Structure 1
Amino acid sequence: MWWPTPDIAPQRKDDPGPLFPWQALAMQGIGAWPDPARVAFYLNGKPRDELVEPKVLLDLLARYGYEVTDNMTNAQQKRAIVAFQMHFRPARWDGVADRETLAIAEALLESYGQG
C-alpha cells in the first residue's frame, strides 16, 4: 500500500537517488510507480524530450506532494525536477521540464491522487 507523504523536500534533503530500487519496491506494493500505459496516454504521441513550461510541471509536482513554491529560484526548480526524475525516471535526470516527465507526473496523480 502507498501512503502519500507531504515531506518531499528536495531543497532540504536528498532521496536515495536514481540507483535506489524504487520500481522494484513499488512492484512489491511499497511506494508508487507510474503505469507505463498511462504515461504513453499522456505523451499522446508527442516526443518524450519535447520541452514543456516548467511552471506546469512544477504545479503537478506540488500537487503530488513535492515542496514547490512560486518564489523558487531557477536552481531550486531544477533541483525539484531532478529529484522527481531520479525517483521516477532514473535513466535520465537532467532537471529539464520535458513531455515525458510531465506525463509521468500526470500518470502518478491519476493513479495515486493528490499528495
Structure 2
Amino acid sequence: MAHADIAPQRKDDPGPLFPWQQLAQQGIGAWPDAQRVNFYLAGRAPHTPVDTASLLELLARYGYDVKPDMTPREQRRVIMAFQMHFRPTLYNGEADAETQAIAEALLEKYGQD
C-alpha cells in the first residue's frame, strides 16, 4: 500500500513508475495473476466501459476508501490510484473492464471483506 492507495484524494505518490510488480515477484506486496485477469475480462476489450459504482464496490472490498457521497472527481481519483498501482500503463481514472478484472482477480487471490 502507498499514499495514493490510502489517501487518493490527497496523495498520488509513489506514482505509476514504482515497481509494484517486481516487488510482488519477490514476495513483497500483492499482484494479480494474469490468467485470472483474462478470465475475468471474459472476452471483453480491456477498455470497455463498466459501471463505476460496481467497480468502486470491488475497490472498497479490496480496501480502498470509497464513500457513498463521493463526487465523480473523487471517484476517478480512487480508480486512478488503483490503476497506478496495478495497471500503470493506463491510469486515466475511467471505470473499464480491465480495471474491474484486475480487482476481481486480486479479491479472488487475497480475499475479500
Cα deviations by residue, 1:49-86 (Å, 9 ceiling, x for unpaired):
11000000000000000000110000000000000000
Write the mapping of 1:59-98 to structure 2, written as runs, cut at 5 A: 59-98=57-96
* Identical positions, percent: 66
Write the mapping of 1:38-53 to structure 2, written as runs, cut at 5 A: 38-53=36-51
Q: Which runs of 5+ in 2 are unaligned?
A: none
Partner of 2:7: 9
Q: TM-score, normalised by structure 2?
A: 0.92
Cα deviations by residue, 1:3-35 (Å, 9 ceiling, x for unpaired):
9xxx72312333301000000000000000010
Aligned length: 110
Cα distance in 1 for residues equivalent to 2:77 and 2:47:
18
Q: Which runs of 5+ in 1 are unaligned?
A: none
Give the secondary-structure state (helix, strand or coil) at the position aligned to 1:31.
coil
Partner of 2:31: 33
- Answer yes or no: is 1:22 the counterpart of 2:20: yes
Cα distance in 2 for residues equivalent to 1:114 and 1:9:
20
Q: Give 4+ residue runs of structure 1 displaced > 3 Å after superposition.
A: none
Cα distance in 2 for residues equivalent to 1:20 and 1:53:
28
Q: TM-score, normalised by structure 1?
A: 0.91
Cα distance in 1 for residues equivalent to 2:107 and 2:58:
8
Paired AA for residue 31 in structure 1: G
